[in-house]
Structure 1
Amino acid sequence: MNEADRRIERRWEQVHTWGPYGLLGISVVLAAVSTGQLDGPAEWEMDAGLVAAALALQLWWNGTRTRRPARGRTPSRAGTGYYVVRWAIAFTLTWSSGFFAFFAATGYMDADELIPGRWRRLGLFASAITVAGAQGGGLPPKTVTQWMAFGGLLVANSGLQTVVAHLTEQEERRSRERVETISELERTNAALQQALDENAALHTQLLVQAREAGVADERRRLAAEIHDTIAQGLTGIIAQLQVVANAPDLAVSRVHLERASALARHSLGEARRSVHNLAPVALADDGLPEALKKTVAEWGERTGIRAEFTVTGTGEQLHDEVSATLLRIAQEALSNAARHAAAARVGVTLSFMGDEVTLDVRDDGRGFDPLAVPARTGTGGFGLDGMRARAERIAGSLAVESEPGHGTALSARVPLVRHDR
């Protein structure tokens, strides 16, 4: 309830508390001034006693409301009893003086708050009888004309109060519905906010897990790199040195020493490349498009293969994990192309497509049979399975199209998750 509603509620509370006193006072003053309508001192003493009873009844009821504020405006047996006794006093006073109809009109003010359910209309009808009798010249009517006037006034008062009561009930029902709707919206908003908080926490957890899984992948990849390059290079060097040890002349020894030296330089280069790829340093100062552009250009210069990089769509600042994943996939795809494809041309395309990002790597090399890949990964290389695992860890996917003699097309598709600002 806002401040305006609370002010209106306080004003209504004041009306219900002090209104009966005011109407009783007006009735007493008017009745006393109109002494011609009183038959004598004895009847006036009776009226004074009823006024005192009405005053005491009102004091008692206001005290009850003060002691039970939570139920003071709720229909109850005590409220119904108070209403009936007050109506009886008002009816009796109106019988002797029509001016007490002002006090009898209090029955119109609070019937909806004192009398429950269908009995509320009966209470309003009883108050209408008292008010109509006073308006028609007093009770009981003495002539046919007075009876007709009383009947017309009763119908008018009852009809008016019925309409007012109906409108009041509708407004109360709408108020309750609004309160229920607001409460439901608050519950829904709270549930939605809780779901958003849970989703944010889950997203953070998934990124942490993806980062941890990426660390494990890097360890496996480094192990495969060492096995496929450095370890094999060292094995070759040892073999060449063994030949030198048993060479018959210096010329043969020099040839094998040169081979061992070349293998050592190549292994050193592979070791440096593996260390460089341990963390995506290319992303330290640049976004993913710039990092991919540099990576493709450096790879082309190193391998002598024509390499092109293209960006399509409106670029976005991606989350670090998404950028690192796509960069790693691109590096591995280029590494595989250099080692296995024997390609003359390689194209890399980064596409921003609304709510997802796609990385495509194509070459015109010798191609391969994708169904035969498991049989060819027994050497421990990172391979397609590792790239696919990278993409799937951030809710993405990896597709490969290739056939012998017709090149290879690799496409990684991942959700577009923007960088946390």
Structure 2
Amino acid sequence: MTVEDSRIERRWEQLHTWGPYGFLGISIVLGVVSADPHTAQAKWFTAWSLVGAAVVLQLWWHATGFRRPDRGRTPSPAGTAYYVVRWALAFVLTWLSPFFAFYAATGYMDADELLPRRWRRFGLLASAVTVAGAQTGGMPLRNVLQWLLFAVLLAANSALQVGIAHLNDQEKQRSRERTETIAALRQALDENAALHSQLLVQAREAGVADERRRLAAEIHDTIAQGLAGIITQLQVVTNTPDPDLAEEHVSRALALARHSLGEARRSVHNLAPVALEHDGLPEALQKTVAEWGERTSTRAEFILTGTAEQLHEEVAATLLRIVQEALSNAARHAHASRVGVTLSYLGEEVILDIRDDGTGFDLLAVPTRSRAGGFGLDGMRARAERIAGSLTVESEPGLGTALSARVPLVRHDN
């Protein structure tokens, strides 16, 4: 409930509390001022006795606590008795002086709160009878004209009060619906807040898991490959008696160690690969393929088709990592004598093809790793899918292997 609603509620409560006193006071003042000095003493005594009874009734009603908001707003036997007795007092007082119709009109204010729903219209009709009788000049009615006027005024008062009661019921119904809607919205907001908190936790956990996968893939695709190359070069050193050849392979091992160290640092900080620091993707791929071919003594060739464009860092890094992993697999498993890498710029798409003439393998016989591991074919496929791309693999035992990665051509942000 808003502050304005609370203020209006308090004002209605004050009207219902002090209204009967106020209307009774107005009726007394007007009745005394307009009274005939020659009125019989018995009539005066009766009137003042009924006024006293009305005051006592109001004091009782408030003293017993039935008028409290948490009790007086709900129809009860005590409320019905209070309404009936008050109406009876008002009816008799109006018979004595029409000005007590003001007091009788209090029945219009609280019939919906004091009477059960099935008796509410009868209560309004009874109050309308008293008020209409006073409006015709007071009871008893003495001629046909007064009776006709009484009938018209009764119908008008009844229709007016029934209409107001109907509108009041509708307003209360809307108020209840608004209250229920607000409660439902608050519940929805609470649930939404809880869901939002849960999503934040899940997003945080997903971010941690994604970062772990990224680091695992980077370590596998860069550091592990570099260490494998270093081991290969050192094995040559230990197996050759030629000092010049040994020195050459030691130099290569040192270069691989420096390169792996740089890649490790960049992986930790999520930077682009070293090969892309100063070169675009075509130049980086050409150097990577040439260095790999020289290191493994394998015939390796790079081909560029289409017009090269500056790609987004993530797209370029993804394609470079796929090539590095594919070349590593070709060296470790395929024992290929020839490898070809083709980078094609086709409109809004970039296609990367890697082919080798190695031993090949049976795709159905390859154990499937979880993509969360970030290794091998699943790792390359996960990288491509991370940037809305795809990876297809074709291979047969003895017929080599062909990989094709298709990714959107996302240009570099200027």
TM more than 0.5:
yes
CA gap 1:208/1:333 in 2 versus in 1, 3 angstroms: same
Could you report, residue by residue, the CA deviation over 1:170-197 in whole angstroms, capped at 9, with x for unpaired residues? 1111121122222222222332232222
Matched residue pairs, number?
377
Q: Secondary structure at the match of 1:36?
A: coil
Match of 2:26 in 1: 26
Match of residue 379, structure 2, among 377, 380, 386 = 386
Q: CA deviation at 1:334?
A: 2.7
Match of 2:309 in 1: 310
Are 2:394 and 2:401, in contact at CA under 8 Å, matched by a contact in 1? yes
Q: CA deviation at 1:50?
A: 0.9
Match of 1:82 in 2: 82
Q: CA deviation at 1:118?
A: 1.9
CA gap 1:21/1:343 in 2 versus in 1, 3 angstroms: same
For 2:251 and 2:34, locate their aligned partners in 1 and report how far apart those are by CA, in whole Å.
Answer: 127
Are 1:337 and 1:363, in contact at CA under 8 Å, matched by a contact in 2? no
Match of residue 260, structure 1, among 246, 250, 256 = 246
CA RMSD across the alignment: 4.0
Match of 2:405 in 1: 410
Match of 1:275 in 2: 261
CA gap 1:73/1:372 in 2 versus in 1, 3 angstroms: closer
1:330 lines up with 2:329 in the alignment: no
For 1:191 and 1:23, locate their aligned partners in 2 and report how far apart those are by CA, in whole Å.
Answer: 51
Could you report, residue by residue, the CA deviation over 1:8-50 in whole angstroms, capped at 9, with x for unpaired residues? 2222222212221121111111221222398411121111111
Structure 1 counterpart of 2:322, one-letter code: A
Q: Secondary structure at the match of 2:70?
A: coil
For 2:341 and 2:102, locate their aligned partners in 1 and report how far apart those are by CA, in whole Å.
Answer: 106
Match of 1:342 in 2: 339
Match of 2:299 in 1: none
Are 1:79 and 1:114, in contact at CA under 8 Å, matched by a contact in 2? yes
1:172 lines up with 2:172 in the alignment: yes
Could you report, residue by residue, the CA deviation over 1:325-345 in whole angstroms, capped at 9, with x for unpaired residues? x67643422324656473364
For 2:176 and 2:38, locate their aligned partners in 1 and report how far apart those are by CA, in whole Å.
Answer: 48
Q: CA deviation at 1:223?
A: 7.4
Are 1:95 and 1:140, in contact at CA under 8 Å, matched by a contact in 2? yes
Which residues in structure 2 correspond to 1:20-419 (within 5 Å)? 20-36=20-36, 39-65=39-65, 68-218=68-218, 220-221=220-221, 224-225=224-225, 228-240=228-240, 244=241, 256-280=242-266, 297-301=283-287, 303-304=289-290, 305=302, 310=309, 329-336=318-325, 340=330, 342-343=339-340, 345-347=342-344, 360=350, 362-363=352-353, 365-366=355-356, 372=363, 382-389=375-382, 398-400=390-392, 408-411=403-406
For 2:37 and 2:357, locate their aligned partners in 1 and report how far apart those are by CA, in whole Å.
Answer: 119
Q: Secondary structure at the match of 2:137?
A: coil
Are 2:132 and 2:157, in contact at CA under 8 Å, matched by a contact in 1? yes
Structure 1 counterpart of 2:381, one-letter code: R
Are 1:330 and 1:361, in contact at CA under 8 Å, matched by a contact in 2? no
Q: Secondary structure at the match of 2:404?
A: strand
Q: Secondary structure at the match of 1:141?
A: coil
For 2:86 and 2:236, locate their aligned partners in 1 and report how far apart those are by CA, in whole Å.
Answer: 114
For 1:226 and 1:93, locate their aligned partners in 2 and report how far apart those are by CA, in whole Å.
Answer: 109
Q: CA deviation at 1:169?
A: 0.8
Q: Secondary structure at the match of 1:267?
A: helix
Are 2:266 and 2:272, in contact at CA under 8 Å, matched by a contact in 1? no
Could you report, residue by residue, the CA deviation over 1:284-336 in whole angstroms, capped at 9, with x for unpaired residues? 7789xx86965654443454546686357xx7xx9xxxx5xx67643422324
Q: TM-score, normalised by structure 2?
A: 0.76
For 1:336 and 1:276, locate their aligned partners in 2 and report how far apart those are by CA, in whole Å.
Answer: 18
Q: Secondary structure at the match of 1:409?
A: strand
Q: Secondary structure at the match of 1:399?
A: strand
CA gap 1:344/1:191 in 2 versus in 1, 3 angstroms: closer
Structure 1 counterpart of 2:90, one-letter code: A
Structure 1 counterpart of 2:118, one-letter code: R
Are 2:95 and 2:139, in contact at CA under 8 Å, matched by a contact in 1? yes
For 1:269 and 1:348, locate their aligned partners in 2 and report how far apart those are by CA, in whole Å.
Answer: 32
Q: Secondary structure at the match of 2:72?
A: coil
Q: Which runs of 5+ in 2 are unaligned?
A: 291-301, 331-337, 369-373, 409-414
Q: CA deviation at 1:382?
A: 4.5
Are 1:333 and 1:361, in contact at CA under 8 Å, matched by a contact in 2? no
Q: CA deviation at 1:51?
A: 0.6
Match of 1:248 in 2: none
Could you report, residue by residue, the CA deviation over 1:50-85 in whole angstroms, capped at 9, with x for unpaired residues? 111111221232334588342233333322222111
For 1:119 and 1:285, locate their aligned partners in 2 and report how far apart those are by CA, in whole Å.
Answer: 81
Q: Which runs of 5+ in 1 are unaligned?
A: 245-255, 352-357, 414-421
Match of 1:250 in 2: none
Are 1:310 and 1:350, in contact at CA under 8 Å, matched by a contact in 2? no
Structure 2 counterpart of 1:280, one-letter code: R
For 2:48 and 2:352, locate their aligned partners in 1 and report how far apart those are by CA, in whole Å.
Answer: 108
CA gap 1:78/1:345 in 2 versus in 1, 3 angstroms: same
CA gap 1:29/1:107 in 2 versus in 1, 3 angstroms: same
CA gap 1:343/1:385 in 2 versus in 1, 3 angstroms: same
Structure 1 counterpart of 2:246, one-letter code: A
Q: Secondary structure at the match of 2:309?
A: strand
